[in-house]
Amino acid sequence: MRVSTAQFYLQSAQLMSQKSSDVNEQMAYLSSGKRVLTAKDDAVTYGTLAGYKNDLANIEKYKRNINQAESHNSLQEVVFADAENILNNVKALMLQANNGAMSDEDLQTLANQTRNSLEQLLDLANSQNENGDYIFSGYQTEQQPFSQQSDGSVLYSGDSGVRELQIAKNIKIPTNQTGDASFMNVANAIGDFTANYPTAPVANTSGVAVESANVTDRGLYNTSAMPHDYTFTFGPGAADLNVLDSGGANVFTTATYVAGQTITFDGIDVTLSGNPLPGESFTISEQEEVTIFDTINDAISWMEQGSVSASPEQHQVDYSALLNQLNSSMSHITSRRVDSGIRLQVLDSQENRHLDTELALTSSKSTIEDLDFAKAISEFEQAKLALQASQQTFSKVQGLSLFNYI
């Protein structure tokens, strides 16, 4: 007759299961190299580790966003650098075209070269990234932003949307510059107005030109007659000047005009150069911004007028205005490039901060999480011995009976 009972088997099985579980637990610690795997190991430490892991996961997400933002801004910075070179080339062609020794054929050759530069700039403005998205279309990345019309003008079909990526808890950075801000909204070189010089009935034979025209009193300007178009007429006296608004009302008059004098009316300051002759006139119209494409198109038209102009003085006035607007365009593109550079600096700086923070968090996490292998191996060996002892005890006891003692 056997002396073991069902209760003995149950207790032995439970004991061996517990010892086996202890061994497996110690093996899990050793294989992972961590001393805290679940909340029951150390509830306080487990909560702290969860916070570290969350912070490290956020840093990893921010680093991915930084890489993406760097890619976008680097591409735009390269485009702006190429655009700078194109505008420098156009300016050089303009300076060359103003040489009196140029023939009509020479000027047409320069005009053709300038037209090629315009096409190159248009191609840059329609640049795409590695995913095929147009980088200057704003939110409409699948829409080609710029298209040239039959009259040579360029139409913008994108929007003004600026995309952003979060690169830190409270920091977002733009990943794009829109096409309108980059190529269309260039500050007018003379200010808030553009000048129109008629060729008939009286041409500009004196070379009078608008040096600057700016709104200085917005309140007074906003209450003046609309639209904000003004006509400047000189004469009948040599020093007579009258300025009429769009409704024909006289808003400024003087009989003592001198070259370089600043004229103030309707909240506007206008400075002229040159000594106008009686009978000459011109108009100014509100225009705060000029597109780069229009400026280059105007340069092409100026070259195509040929070496002999019907109004040499006006030809030079137009040349000076174009050169000033080209300089404004170059400054504008440079500022766009600088913006991309600043963003890249911010991204680089923030990435370095993330790396420092990541190192500190990883070190702190390791301090409280990493396993003491010497201690763990000792505990593993103890658990293994306990399991073996329980197994041997069960093996011996379960085979005992009264016949062993007869």
Residue 368 inside a domain? The answer is: no
Whether residues 245 and 337 fall in one domain: no
Residue 397 inside a domain? The answer is: no
Residue 26 to residues 12, 19, 77, 121, 317: CA-CA distances in angstroms? 21, 11, 56, 68, 89
Whether residues 211 and 246 fall in one domain: yes
d(CA 5, CA 182) in angstroms, rounded, equals: 90
d(CA 189, CA 87) in angstroms, rounded, equals: 15
Whether residues 250 and 334 fall in one domain: no
Q: Under a CB-based contact definition with an 8 Å cutoff, are residues 298 and 93 in contact?
A: no
* Domain region containing 214: 193-287
d(CA 377, CA 31) in angstroms, rounded, equals: 11
Residue 154 inside a domain? The answer is: yes
End residue of a domain, out of 340, 356, 372: 356
Whether residues 175 and 66 fall in one domain: yes
d(CA 350, CA 188) in angstroms, rounded, equals: 36
Whether residues 134 and 229 fall in one domain: no
Whether residues 111 and 203 fall in one domain: no
Whether residues 147 and 210 fall in one domain: no
Q: What is the pTM of this model?
A: 0.81
Bridge partners of residue 284, in order along the sequence: 195, 230
- The enclosing domain of 122 has a CATH number of 1.20.1330.10
Residue 69 inside a domain? The answer is: yes
Residue 76 inside a domain? The answer is: yes
pLDDT in tens, the chain (406 residues): 454 555 555 555 555 556 555 555 555 555 555 655 555 555 666 667 678 788 899 999 999 999 999 999 999 999 999 999 999 999 999 999 999 889 999 999 999 999 999 999 999 999 999 999 999 999 999 999 999 999 999 999 999 999 999 999 999 999 999 999 999 999 999 999 999 998 777 778 888 999 999 999 999 999 999 999 999 999 999 899 999 999 999 999 999 999 888 999 999 999 999 889 999 999 999 999 999 999 999 999 999 998 877 788 899 999 999 999 999 999 999 999 999 999 999 999 999 999 999 898 878 766 766 554 556 565 555 656 655 656 555 555 555 554 455 5
Whether residues 92 and 162 fall in one domain: yes
Residue 111 inside a domain? The answer is: yes
Residue 27 inside a domain? The answer is: no
